[in-house]
Structure 1
Amino acid sequence: MPHALYRPKPPLDKFVDSFWVSGDYVAQAPRERVLPSGAQSLVVPLYETPTRIYSGEHTTEAADVSGAILCGARSTPLIIGPPPGPTVGVEFKPGGAHPFFGVPANALAEQTLALDALWGASARALHERLMETPSPLGRVQLLEEHLLHRLRHSFELSPALRASLDAFEEPDLTSVAEVNRRTGLSPKRLLALFREEVGLSPKTFWRVRRFRAVLRDLEQGSLRGAALAAEHGYFDQAHFLREFRSLSGSSPREYLAKRVAGTDHVSVHG
């Protein structure tokens, strides 16, 4: 089983986009890019070897992080050493991680953090139980139970944040100012809301989410070249290619050739 996705049940579906489980696979390169999604994620390696996280694609500077890892919202790829064994994780919805960790999203933006720094012994116990659970579905159910236990049931995303997030997913959106008009939020208030709850500025978040929509179309093979740029509201193909390379570290053609099937990882060969 190389990679499988599981959709969350209520009430976690308000905050979690998906649970995922990866089995063993043979890495094609010594490093991988994890592409930005605009949301936080939780990664739990099901082995004892620390995860190597590089400070950049072309540097040897790296940190080894043991156990479960919380990844903040990003606008650039995260460079990691490929996992040597099975892994399970949670992809939160934008703004959806806050009730489980209680840390302002901007404190984690562009960062990775060992989960035990926030959850202490509970994180280590969860890691051990996940490693002892034999089935992929059982691991997902264990993660669900743990998140439900931590969920403050009265927690709700603010109506202004929900409306803003929905607006940024619309393909015909033309500017951040349009979101201000729709929600009635001033530019200053929208910026503060996104930094605290999402971790990115509204403009950066919009760039990343539009990029993710492009990835979905690329993987389906439904649009190419200028048509893809036009469909997603880029000024022209040159603008589209600059944005794609900025957010992915590669061209669309390179991405399709080097992506790790079923994931948002891309092999880095040199």
Structure 2
Amino acid sequence: MTHAFYRPKAPLDALVDYFWVSGNYVAQAPRERVLPSGSQALVVHLGETPVRVYSGEHTTEAADAPGALLCGARSSPLIIGTTLGPTVGVHFKPGGAHPFFGVPANAVAEQTVALDALWGASAHSLRERLMETSSPLERVQLLEEYLLHRLRRSFEPGPALRASLEAFEEPDLTSVAEVNRRTGLSPKRLLALFREEVGLSPKTFWRVRRFRAALRDLDLGSLRGAALAAEHGYCDQAHFLREFRSLAGSSPREYLAARVADTDHVSVYG
């Protein structure tokens, strides 16, 4: 499988983390977990076989997803089938997807939603034009064009959201209450802000982002075991392992053995 990643240009760089394009996919397993990141993603599948989205890891119950879909912010892995063709997508920054879709982020959290339910006929038009374009760079440029057209308000996230998101990325953060103190937002206002803009509660978002930070160190091999747990503020190694299994669906060792290179996907063999 080949992947190409593209960084967005201004002004979309305030809202989009990266664009990605992949070719035909030869998977190692019939299913994969897509690990939660705390943000939303737009995925446009360009092949003829529909994407299978499973209701859980240990079930055969699945639905055929449409060619273009919005994946809401999640607190658990998304389980998908792996019979895929060419795919292109947008990985938004936390809170970055909200201006493009006109619905509160918590309305699509933990879900995959057909893009035509949000964008109408223009979703079908976008997919058709992407299928007619073979160059990865041209596909990304086309996506950029559509996103700029769909913006519903100013580019920059509000100062309260920016300050809160920055606080949750700090490794020495000890509680959500500390974010309230730093930003001056009441617990009720912080909760409402995150549900509307990010899709997750502040506490759940913090759990996911801390997990992703630990995952980066695990991938690099720079830290292991108790040192990794301590570096990322877990009470102890047992706490880290419980959180990791809850958010990744496996132990760290199982994750390392089954991760799919250059993605946040993990092969599911069982």
Please state which band the TM-score falls in when normalised by the shorter chain. over 0.9
Q: Is the Cα contact below 8 Å between 1:48 and 1:66 reproduced in 2?
A: no
Match of 1:250 in 2: 250
What do you get for the CA RMSD once the two structures are aligned? 1.0
State the AA in 1 paired with 2:217.
D
* Alignment gaps of 5+ in structure 2: none
The equivalent residue for 1:137 is 137
C-alpha displacement of 1:132: 1.2
User: Following the alignment from structure 1 to structure 2, what is the Cα–Cα distance between the partners of residues 247 and 22?
Assistant: 25
Alpha-carbon offset, residue 160 of structure 1: 0.6
Say which SS state the counterpart of residue 113 (structure 2) adopts. Answer: strand
Q: Counterpart in 2 of 1:199?
A: 199
**How many residues are aligned here?**
270
Which residue in 2 is equivalent to 1:239? 239
Contact residue 49 and residue 85 of structure 2 kept, 8 A: no
Per the TM alignment, residue 112 of structure 1 is displaced from its structure 2 partner at its CA by: 0.5
Q: CA offset at residue 153 of structure 1?
A: 5.6
Percent identical pairs in the alignment equals: 85
* Separation in 2, partners of 1:126, 1:183: 39
Deviations 1:178-221 (A, max 9, x none): 00000001111111111111100000000000111111111111
2-structure distance, mates of 1:83, 1:164: 39
Cα distance in 2 for partners of 1:181, 1:134 equals 50
What is the rounded CA distance, in whole Å, between the counterparts of 2:138 and 2:216 in structure 1? Answer: 28
Which aligned segments of 4 or more residues in structure 1 are displaced greater than 2 angstroms? 152-156
Q: Which residue of 2 aligns with 1:226?
A: 226
Is 1:175 aligned with 2:172?
Answer: no
User: What TM-score results when the alignment is normalised by the length of structure 2?
Assistant: 0.98
Q: 1:22 to 1:122 in 2, by over 3 A?
A: same
One-letter amino acid of the structure 2 residue matched with residue 51 of structure 1:
V
- Alignment partners' CA distance in 1, 2:79 and 2:236: 29
Q: Residue by residue, what CA displacement relative to the aligned partner does 1:26-84 show, whole Å, maximum 9, x if unpaired?
A: 11111110000000100111113211100000111111112101000000000000142
- Is the 1:22–1:88 Cα contact (8 Å) retained in structure 2? yes
String of CA shifts for 1:83-123, please: whole Å, max 9, x gaps.
42111100001111111101100100101111011111100
Find the residue that maps to 2:194 and give its secondary structure. helix
Query: What is the CA–CA distance in structure 2 between the aligned matches of 1:90 and 1:25, rounded to whole Å?
Result: 18
- Structure-2 separation of matches of 1:17 and 1:156: 14
Q: Distance in 2 between matches of 1:22 and 1:155?
A: 28
Query: Could you list the runs of 5+ residues in structure 1 that have no partner in the other structure?
Result: none
Paired residue type of 1:267: S
The one-letter code of the counterpart of 2:35 is: L
